Structure 1
């Protein structure tokens, strides 16, 4: 836990995450850390809570997970579906908040939230990009099996949402699901969006006629749409041999891609090099299967690079219904290939999309806007 000495009358907030210290830039793509910086800039005192399990607890959770989910893959998220594990961590968070003298905790997921509203000394808030119900809709590969055996987890989620003082969401589609599926009152959910990290908007020259397409993934190559993108690119290149695709994010992708004509794998690159790739690309080809939001879409549009992705989750909202990108209705390589050919056939349309997309994301998405909205809610509750 970390703390900053507050001034008199300062708004005090504790951020928490089960996946790492929320004030570290590596946690949840840096979202909590970026939000904390902007809340501090607004005068708030932001603290960090990150309880750690003992080895005995971890072993017990593993046993309960094996019994309850029949040997489904063991990871932090899976074990936290166990009621006792969630209750233990939720209690640890509340106790840490009281020790720090904080009565507001902003969670970045439900896995460390209380399952009821009996904790009156601490008010719990949530900032989320997805729900369990939404995650099940496009479950990837073997995750369908564990999802089907986790009905109790759905009830834990429902209870956690109900116990929240207020819920902040990345997108409107998440808010709608919380209201329609989980029965949360609309006045207890606010869409605040997200920011874009360190990306610098680009207004320099771009070659939409001859520029390469770009695919980015630091991990989860298949889930981020890598295999689907490669299959579609292979089909599209039969009709457009001049097409090029750059794959970036992880050196291991070289062995996955192999010697694919027209595809260049650059692997892991420094941030400045990634920013330059985003600026020079004609199109971001990123057909992610079940990514809740996709900050990479925002970064591409801030670089005036239109995007291609599946018509699901946050992408329709980010592209304003397809005005600043191409929404593919199904995860089919033939359909995706047709979309690629259609997009690359009209450089002027890509240029217009890039300009309008940049205006759209710069006017709507920033960590300062998120912090402003959350701070206003905190000061009225």
Structure 2
């Protein structure tokens, strides 16, 4: 009935532009493919979609960095810190406004806040945001945020508040982020909607699978520490003393290989193609991803679609994804001993793993698709 009402209604816009600071919005490699997948499904709903890719040249970056340092924000430790400042955001926003005017677009969906606050609202252009996190949540366990000075932290928080102001609507991946935007930033509840996310390139798995093998998986393209990599390695060492047959496959970037060292039973892969990554999901008995502060966790959805149960910390967005523990394991403490015990307990009951895998796959296939995301954005 809900889907039928979606189809019978007209979308809120006939034509829209999607922006992405970290790559071409139509490129599936940009921001985990979210902009490209959203664009494709909006077009299937009859919405014409344009792409806007604002970016700063080298000289502009030097200029912004120099002025930020003069304002006491410190030397940028990496490119993302530079983009968090209000000067960089305003330059990106000006580019978005110029491109929207050139394209004749009156509605713009931003896939992040680094090209906001909007610069053309006075001309009647409406701006929307689709996001998976907020600065207030990210900075708690950001790998280098603790090295930002107090003035920079305050400036970035103010810049985020300005970026969020004046938006026609904000769409979040999950309720965890939606609640934070309302509570921390004061956004009206009726202008923030949790719409979920889709599945990317991982195909659902329906084939035979044994849950007797103690085969763990961990996937982190970057941010090894923040994704829980070090916590897992310590827990793995403890668990393997009691289960010498325990194995762990890690898919990460090459810089993470050094953290693994010469531990027995661990296989490390750097940057696997989608088809090979898909096979690792299917081969695993349990995805163990104790993320310290991930507000959503696309990797959990990919594992569940592959009939692999997931395990993570009982915080942030994971309880929402696993329905409080119905199709995934929640560990209360970010402690190696607690995680080790949870791993051993999960592996001791293959039938429970099989039931949990089936429940997780049902949830993902019923609730997590880019078509549903596009419908919720276009019709809500």
Task: Determine if the TM-score, normalized by the shorter chain, exceeds 0.5.
Answer: yes
Q: What is the Cα deviation at residue 162 of structure 1?
A: 2.2
Unaligned runs of 5+ in 2: 1-11
CA distance in 2, matches of 1:89, 1:363: 37
Counterpart in the other structure of 2:128: 125
Counterpart in the other structure of 1:144: 146
Q: What is the Cα deviation at residue 72 of structure 1?
A: 4.6
> Structure 1 stretch 144-153 or stretch 199-208: which is displaced more?
144-153
- Is 1:11 the counterpart of 2:14? The answer is yes
CA distance in 1, matches of 2:364, 2:223: 25
- Is 1:183 the counterpart of 2:186? The answer is yes
> Structure 1 stretch 165-174 or stretch 54-63: which is displaced more?
54-63
Equivalent residue for 1:109, pick from 107, 112, 116: 112
Given that residues 73 and 149 in structure 2 are in contact (C-alpha distance below 8 angstroms), is that contact kept between their aligned partners in structure 1?
A: no
Q: Give 3-state SS (helix, strand or coil) of 1:63's partner.
A: helix
Backbone CA RMSD of aligned residues: 1.9
Equivalent residue for 1:74, pick from 75, 78, 95: 78
> Structure 1 stretch 79-88 or stretch 199-208: which is displaced more?
79-88
Unaligned runs of 5+ in 1: 1-8
Residue-pair matches, total:
367
Change (3 A) 1:220 1:136: closer
1:61-84 deviation digits (Å, cap 9, x = unpaired): 121333432225131x21123322
- Is 1:327 the counterpart of 2:330? The answer is yes
Counterpart in the other structure of 1:6: none
Equivalent residue for 2:47, pick from 41, 44, 48: 44
Q: What is the Cα deviation at residue 117 of structure 1?
A: 8.0
> Structure 1 stretch 318-327 or stretch 142-151: which is displaced more?
142-151
Equivalent residue for 1:28, pick from 23, 27, 31: 31
Given that residues 97 and 118 in structure 2 are in contact (C-alpha distance below 8 angstroms), is that contact kept between their aligned partners in structure 1?
A: no
Given that residues 211 and 280 in structure 1 are in contact (C-alpha distance below 8 angstroms), is that contact kept between their aligned partners in structure 2?
A: no
Equivalent residue for 2:288, pick from 285, 289, 302: 285
Given that residues 170 and 194 in structure 1 are in contact (C-alpha distance below 8 angstroms), is that contact kept between their aligned partners in structure 2?
A: yes
Q: What is the Cα deviation at residue 115 of structure 1?
A: 6.0
Equivalent residue for 1:362, pick from 350, 353, 365: 365
Q: Give 3-state SS (helix, strand or coil) of 1:127's partner.
A: strand
Change (3 A) 1:356 1:161: same
TM-score, normalised with respect to structure 1: 0.91
1:317-362 deviation digits (Å, cap 9, x = unpaired): 1111121111122321111111111111111111111011111111
- Is 1:316 the counterpart of 2:316? The answer is no
Counterpart in the other structure of 1:53: 56
> Structure 1 stretch 202-211 or stretch 127-136: which is displaced more?
202-211
- Is 1:298 the counterpart of 2:301? The answer is yes
Q: What is the Cα deviation at residue 42 of structure 1?
A: 1.2
Equivalent residue for 2:342, pick from 339, 343, 361: 339
- Is 1:96 the counterpart of 2:114? The answer is no
Q: Give 3-state SS (helix, strand or coil) of 1:69's partner.
A: coil
